[in-house]
Structure 1
Amino acid sequence: MTIKLHSSVLSKFCLAISLVSIPWATAISAEPVEKTVNANGVATLAGQWVYRSLKNIPDPNVEIGDMKLLVAVIDIPPFTGTHFTGVMTATEHGKDVRHLLEGDIQGDRFTMRAVQGNKTTEGWVYDYTGWLVPTWKEGKNQIPTFVGSVMRVTEHPFPGGGTSHANASYTIIGMKK
């Protein structure tokens, strides 16, 4: 079954998802990234970001903490054009997780692939797609946020791991270095 959403519906959905309170997340003192859109009006991912992913469990009785997959920091150096690279790092289940990132951004949408960045993530491959959440016209202290979907391309035995092509949702929230 294919579901088509009008872009304004998708934007409102993405905004609603970004406003969800996540009690299991570590409190991080983040200030807005200085520039979310470049001179050409294209969203930029350059900078440091907090990444949080959740299992897509359609049961309202499941606690949000039971849906947690990964909390990480993403570093993307400045780039020109639409192609970018970066690194995602985290400590989960007592293991250091590191992914090398490569992707493209067009307008307010990006796609990215994460591959092995250390021995823990050997053979792991994840694909991401995401959108910049629009800012409120009269909003205050707004932090640049991307929301989207991640798909595990390869199977792996890590806790929380599983079959290939499993999907999850995520937010990426801007931090100031």
Structure 2
Amino acid sequence: MSLAGKWTYRSYLNNPELVGDNAQTALSLIFGEGVFTFETPTPRTVVGTLDMGGGYVLDLKGTVDPECEGPTTIVIRGFGRDGTPTAGWEYDYYGWPGYMWPDGVDQVPSIVGTIVRAKPHNGEPAGVTASFIAVAQ
């Protein structure tokens, strides 16, 4: 799987409560949304951005390990930009390529994983976790 390119990104709070048909409750579980733009300078490195709109951008640096035991791992650190609303932000992402079904119909490559707020910001504590999915555009 090639990571280079754009990926629609959404993260979700890990709330185990069912939402039923309550659309507002379902929407309240979204922790973040934006577009990952990845470049792969080498087969084992990834750089890019997470653009959440409105000047909210994280600069990304990470590694890809296709030779680990089990599925390929993707480990990325996101850093806020000085002079923007994300100044001082830091998030860590740990993910894997979504399984590509041999008989899947119109399946789009995906990355699934977890995220942690590595540093506190805007009065919110470090350590908050969420799950994420990114789908190739």
Q: TM-score, normalised by structure 2?
A: 0.86
What is the CA-CA distance between 1:117 and the residue it aligns to?
2.7
Work out whether 1:51 is the aligned partner of 2:9. yes
Work out whether 1:171 is the aligned partner of 2:133. yes
Work out whether 1:70 is the aligned partner of 2:28. no
SS in 2 for 1:64: helix
**Which residue of 2 is the match for residue 96 of structure 1?**
55
Q: Distance in 2 between matches of 1:83 and 1:53?
A: 22
Work out whether 1:154 is the aligned partner of 2:116. no
- Which of 40, 65, 70 does residue 106 from structure 1 map onto? 65
Please state which structure has a larger fraction of its residues in strand. Answer: 2
**Which residue of 2 is the match for residue 116 of structure 1?**
80
Deviant stretches of 4+, over 6 Å: none
RMSD: 1.5
**Which residue of 2 is the match for residue 132 of structure 1?**
97
Task: Check conservation: 2:40, 2:47, Cα contact below 8 A.
Answer: no
Task: Check conservation: 2:61, 2:77, Cα contact below 8 A.
Answer: yes
Task: Check conservation: 2:81, 2:88, Cα contact below 8 A.
Answer: no
Q: Deviations over 1:109-135 (max 9, x none)?
A: 110000013511111000010010111
- Whichever residue aligns with residue 15 of structure 2, its letter is I
Q: Distance in 2 between matches of 1:172 and 1:117?
A: 22
Q: Size of the alignment, in residue pairs?
A: 127
What is the CA-CA distance between 1:137 and the residue it aligns to?
1.0
Q: Distance in 1 between matches of 2:13 and 2:58?
A: 19
- Whichever residue aligns with residue 81 of structure 2, its letter is G
Q: Deviations over 1:140-162 (max 9, x none)?
A: 211000000000011111xxx72
What is the CA-CA distance between 1:68 and the residue it aligns to?
0.9
Using the aligned pairs only, state the percent identity: 27
What is the CA-CA distance between 1:79 and the residue it aligns to?
2.4
Please state which structure has a larger fraction of its residues in helix. Answer: 1
Unmatched 5+ residue regions in structure 2?
67-71
Unmatched 5+ residue regions in structure 1?
1-35, 37-43
Q: Distance in 2 between matches of 1:173 and 1:162?
A: 28
- Whichever residue aligns with residue 85 of structure 1, its letter is V
Task: Check conservation: 1:51, 1:170, Cα contact below 8 A.
Answer: yes
What is the CA-CA distance between 1:81 and the residue it aligns to?
2.5
- Which of 56, 60, 73 does residue 18 from structure 2 map onto? 60
Q: Distance in 2 between matches of 1:155 and 1:80?
A: 31
